[in-house]
Amino acid sequence: MDLGDLREDYRRAALEREALDADPLRQFGTWFDAAVAAGVPEPNAMSLATVDTAGQPSVRIVLLKGVSDGDFVFFTDYRSRKGRDLDANPRAALCFHWHALERQVRVRGQVRRLEAAASADYYRSRPRGSQLGAWVSVQSTPIPDRDVLVADIERRRAEFGEGEIPLPPHWGGYRLTPADIEFWQGRPDRLHDRFLYTRTESAWDCVRLSP
């Protein structure tokens, strides 16, 4: 197969400035709801890009778990590669791709840890197996085999019994406060519609970008 022959012509919709909300967070909510209504699998899946102390970027898929007070919220092990990256360089980029709608949203901004009480509230809402998993996995570190995880989760299951599983001290949420948000709508002949919102002191500026 010649990868150069793999291409798709986008023709679903156009995007005009007058159709966009003045607030990009509201616009994101409108597009997110459309992705849910269209049956997009895991519409809250997003690429999260971070950079380490040597300037080496890393990217992975994580799940958006809320938009709160204008911030994008996600959760992870603070000891993971992304956690270490964010400790060293608290900036990140997100990308949502909803292929069925021929849309992308890109977000960049500052990141800080979520308040502990909010992390605990979300942690308690997770399935019990996922709560145990957060105690067992030292995310991103090498392990000899899967048996190590299985044995450790059984040990933790016995330790906590049927009682409440506490929030691990090494696990919790992050808030990304957007500095800019871009909305991308696929168009024919690769002449895509792109609009970039940039935060100002009092509002948001919005400009059309060349595809």
Q: Measured at the alpha carbon of residue 69, what is the angle toward residues 64 and 74, in degrees to the nearest 5?
A: 20
- Burial readout 16-53 (b: 16 or more C-beta within 10 A, e: otherwise): eeeebeeebbebbeebbeebeeeebeebeebebbbbee
Residue 34 CA to residue 76 CA, distance in Å, equals 27
Angle at 70 between CA 18 and CA 41, to 5 degrees: 75
| Residue 190 appears among annotated catalytic residues | yes
Q: Which of 91, 190, 194, 208 is catalytic?
A: 190
Active site positions, annotated: 190
